[in-house]
């Protein structure tokens, strides 16, 4: 019995490790680290080797059907990862709770029930609510959410699939096959997009999951420490007064005696930084007034600017708006005062019928252009959590300064 559980624990650890590598291995920041190397081995070298073997054995029939399956899994909506996530949660709870329950105080029991329930609740809320799908019926409402910033979102772009004008900050999701308002990213854990309508639920899912893994780590170590103390009365929480080998032996013995609690505690210890990291990244995006999708557009601009291909000039506040591509009014409290464009030849734009007044200035870095969607951390936060009610208090103050762009976001496309 213990052997089986140990194997289950190892399988769970291995799967979570590979999940970590799959998600973080492709980040540019980790390219030259062991994580990046393992990522390349798993996703590049091993598949290549297997394809060569398959070519010899079945003339490549097996790899053809596998890549077809992989294509479906990668390009269509399916709940595989969501089911994996729910199983990871529930199997860990089934392993952990029965042996731990009798050792928990009443307060901890109440806390545990509360903390265990919340991730399921917000997973359901994030997955079941409309992320902000853009339809012909709600299109004019979606167009009024944000003004175009004439930098990463220009008016007049039509989605080739939905045949609708793309509202500012929206993106067509190739997996959901719909346009999504204030699209952040397509999240395989909730099997849907994170956008204007469910961004807050997604953040609450991350927050409550981070709390869950942290609390379980704490409770797990507390229980195991209590168990050690029954055998070794002089034991303290950090095992001070013991040599390293005694310390390691005592923990090895404890984990063997309490495999179920030990395995789940270790899993929670290892996954906590991952969940907190993702949460921190999304809080950073809110602080910077951007989304995962937009942070990739900003990175592209950064590259254009460094090359010297980006130019900006002023947009007058009383400019005439083309009502067929841009609404006269949006609920956002500020409007763009600049237009930023790139040119193919690195020379200032000439006679292309572009709007704006005055000379074109070359832009060398993101800090030199304004991010229209950054109103400061609290207002950005407010816009995520209470978007419908956010700006009533601003109507009176009129225009307000916007801050500069996010500087080269590190982890575009994670999560
Ligand atoms: Zn679309
Ligand atoms: Zn999607």
User: Mind listing the pLDDT tens digit for each residue in 133-176?
Assistant: 999 999 999 999 999 999 999 999 999 999 999 999 999 999 99
**Distance from residue 162's CA to the centre of ligand 1 (Å):** 4
| Ligand number, closest to the Cα atom of 183 | 2
Same domain, 347 and 300: yes
Same domain, 159 and 65: no
Q: pLDDT digits over 60-76, tens only? A: 888 888 888 887 777 88
Same domain, 160 and 253: no
**Distance from residue 187's CA to the centre of ligand 2 (Å):** 7
Residues with CB under 5 A from ligand 1 (ion): 159, 161-162, 172, 179
Confirm whether 344 is domain-assigned: yes
Which residues are part of the catalytic machinery? 187
Same domain, 325 and 410: yes
Same domain, 8 and 44: yes
**Distance from residue 285's CA to the centre of ligand 2 (Å):** 19
Residues with CB under 5 A from ligand 2 (ion): 173, 175-176, 186, 193
Sign of the CA dihedral running 174, 310, 380, 169: negative
Same domain, 321 and 356: yes
Widest CA span in the chain? 84
Q: Of 223, 255, 287, which one is at a domain's C-terminal end? A: 287
Helix (H) or strand (E) holding 361: strand 357-362
Confirm whether 176 is domain-assigned: no
Q: Of 237, 256, 287, which one is at a domain's C-terminal end? A: 287
Same domain, 143 and 224: no
Mean pLDDT of the chain: 87
Confirm whether 174 is domain-assigned: no
Q: How far apart are CA 238 and CA 244, in angstroms?
A: 11
| Ligand number, closest to the Cα atom of 190 | 2
Q: How far apart are CA 281 and CA 331, in angstroms?
A: 27
For residue 53, the enclosing domain spans 1-75
**Distance from residue 106's CA to the centre of ligand 2 (Å):** 42
**Distance from residue 176's CA to the centre of ligand 2 (Å):** 4
Confirm whether 173 is domain-assigned: no
Q: How far apart are CA 106 and CA 340, in angstroms?
A: 60
CB 188 within 8 A of CB 82: yes
What's the CA angle centered on 61, arms 56 and 66, to 5 degrees? 115
| Ligand number, closest to the Cα atom of 188 | 2
pLDDT value for 401:
43
Least confident segment among 35-39, 386-390, 408-412? 408-412
Confirm whether 177 is domain-assigned: no
Same domain, 314 and 250: no
Structural domain count of the chain: 3
Same domain, 43 and 84: no
Confirm whether 11 is domain-assigned: yes
Q: Of 287, 319, 349, which one is at a domain's C-terminal end? A: 287
**Distance from residue 358's CA to the centre of ligand 1 (Å):** 35
Same domain, 333 and 400: yes
Same domain, 118 and 217: yes
Least confident segment among 68-77, 269-278, 298-307? 68-77
What's the CA angle centered on 285, arms 282 and 289, to 5 degrees? 140
Confirm whether 147 is domain-assigned: yes
**Distance from residue 171's CA to the centre of ligand 1 (Å):** 7
Confirm whether 293 is domain-assigned: yes
Same domain, 128 and 273: yes
Ramachandran bin of 356, using left for φ above 0, alpha for ψ from -120 to 50, beta for the remaining angles: left
| Ligand number, closest to the Cα atom of 292 | 2
């Amino acid at each position: 019995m213990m052997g089986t559980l140990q194997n289950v624990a190892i399988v769970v650890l291995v799967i979570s490790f590979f999940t970590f590598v799959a998600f973080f291995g492709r980040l540019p920041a980790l390219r030259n680290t062991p994580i990046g190397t393992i990522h390349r081995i798993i996703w590049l070298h091993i598949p290549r080797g297997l394809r060569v073997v398959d070519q010899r054995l079945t003339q490549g029939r097996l790899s053809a059907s596998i890549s077809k399956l992989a294509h479906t899994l990668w390009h269509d909506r399916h709940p595989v990862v969501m089911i994996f996530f729910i199983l990871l949660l529930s199997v860990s709870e089934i392993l952990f709770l029965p042996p731990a329950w009798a050792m928990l105080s009443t307060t901890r029991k109440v806390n545990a029930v509360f903390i265990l329930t919340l991730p399921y609740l917000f997973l359901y809320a994030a997955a079941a609510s409309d992320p902000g799908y853009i339809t012909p019926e709600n299109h004019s409402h979606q167009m009024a959410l944000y003004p175009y910033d004439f930098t990463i979102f220009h008016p007049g772009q039509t989605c080739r699939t939905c045949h609708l004008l793309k509202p500012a900050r929206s993106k067509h999701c190739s997996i959901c096959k719909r346009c999504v308002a204030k699209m952040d990213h397509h999240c395989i854990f909730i099997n849907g997009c994170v956008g204007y309508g469910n961004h807050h639920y997604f953040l609450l899912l991350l927050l409550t999951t981070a709390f869950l893994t942290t609390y379980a780590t704490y409770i797990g170590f507390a229980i195991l420490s209590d168990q050690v103390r029954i055998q070794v009365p002089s034991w303290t929480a950090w095992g001070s007064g013991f040599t390293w080998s005694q310390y390691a032996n005592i923990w090895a013995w404890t984990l063997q005696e309490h495999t179920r609690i030990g395995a789940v505690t270790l899993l929670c210890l290892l996954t906590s930084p991952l969940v907190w990291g993702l949460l921190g990244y999304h809080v950073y995006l809110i602080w910077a007034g951007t989304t995962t999708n937009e942070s990739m557009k900003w990175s592209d601009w950064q590259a254009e600017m460094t090359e010297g291909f980006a130019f900006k000039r002023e947009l007058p506040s009383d400019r005439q708006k083309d009502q067929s591509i841009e609404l006269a009014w949006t609920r956002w409290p500020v409007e763009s005062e600049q237009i930023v464009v790139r040119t193919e030849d690195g020379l200032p734009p000439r006679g292309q019928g572009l709007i704006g007044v005055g000379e074109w200035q070359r832009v060398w870095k993101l800090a030199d252009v304004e991010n229209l969607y950054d109103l400061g951390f609290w207002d950005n936060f407010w816009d995520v959590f209470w978007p419908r009610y956010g700006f009533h208090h601003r109507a009176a103050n009129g225009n307000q300064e916007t801050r500069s762009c996010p500087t080269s976001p590190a982890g575009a496309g994670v999560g």
